[in-house]
């Protein structure tokens, strides 16, 4: 404890806080190995996979693959152990007790669709944060907001929707959005 002497009660509280702090699910990471069950996720929402792991006493970790990445449908993989995570744009993964938590900071809005206001749409290379769509919007004077739809939700490819006005956000696991002006 770096030379600082804490009373027994304070030290115990510090240790418990460190052990009880929840880890976060990871977007853009897979956890290969340890699978004991898999099933399609009709909603396409990684939170459904995390929730299923929570309800299964055998489950120690989970991995979720978005539609059109490893399969036509979204798939949840339940794991009997906690394999190391591996960077992969196909997936989101986590450890039991962490839920499906996507980053909520900055200009990027995960699991948000801004339906309407489209003046242009086009296919873009798949990426887990919608960076290509964001850059396209930032590069056009008319663009006020954007929505990136992951592959498999409206077709086999990722699609970028550029918007000439800002619309109301709606929770949808298919999408990543942002407002630029």
End-to-end CA distance of the chain: 48
Q: What is the DSSP letter of 23?
A: P
- Asked if the domains at 23-95 and 108-179 fall in one CATH topology, the answer is yes
Residue-wise pLDDT tens digits, 126-164:
887 899 999 999 999 999 999 999 988 988 899 999 999
Contact yes or no for 59/81 (Cβ under 8 A): no
pLDDT at position 131, please?
92
With b for 16 or more beta-carbon neighbours within 10 A and e for fewer, the 42-70 pattern comes to eebbbbbbbebbeeeeebbbbbbbbbbbb
Cβ within 8 Å of residue 73, ≥6 positions away: 40, 41, 42, 67, 152
CATH superfamily of 23-95: Hepatocyte Growth Factor (3.50.4.10)
What is the value of pTM for the model shown?
Answer: 0.65
Domain ranges of the chain: 23-95, 108-179
Q: CA 61 to CA 47: how far, in whole Å? A: 13
CATH superfamily of 108-179: Hepatocyte Growth Factor (3.50.4.10)
pLDDT at position 161, please?
98
């Amino acid at each position: 404890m770096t030379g600082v002497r804490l009373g027994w009660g304070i030290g115990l509280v510090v240790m418990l806080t460190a052990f009880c702090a929840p880890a976060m699910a990871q977007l853009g990471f897979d956890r290969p190995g340890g699978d004991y069950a898999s099933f399609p996720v009709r909603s396409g929402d990684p939170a459904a996979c995390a929730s299923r792991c929570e309800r299964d006493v055998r489950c120690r970790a989970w991995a979720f693959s978005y539609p059109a990445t490893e399969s036509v449908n979204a798939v949840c993989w339940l794991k009997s152990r906690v394999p190391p995570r591996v960077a992969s744009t196909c997936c989101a993964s986590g450890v039991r007790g962490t839920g499906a938590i996507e980053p909520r900071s900055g200009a990027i809005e995960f699991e948000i669709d801004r339906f309407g206001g489209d003046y242009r749409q086009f296919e873009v290379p798949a990426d887990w944060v919608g960076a290509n769509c964001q850059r396209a919007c930032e590069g056009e004077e008319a663009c006020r907001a954007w929505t990136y739809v992951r592959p498999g939700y409206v077709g086999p490819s990722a699609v970028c929707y550029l918007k000439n006005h800002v619309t109301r956000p709606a929770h949808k696991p298919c999408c990543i959005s942002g407002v630029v002006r």
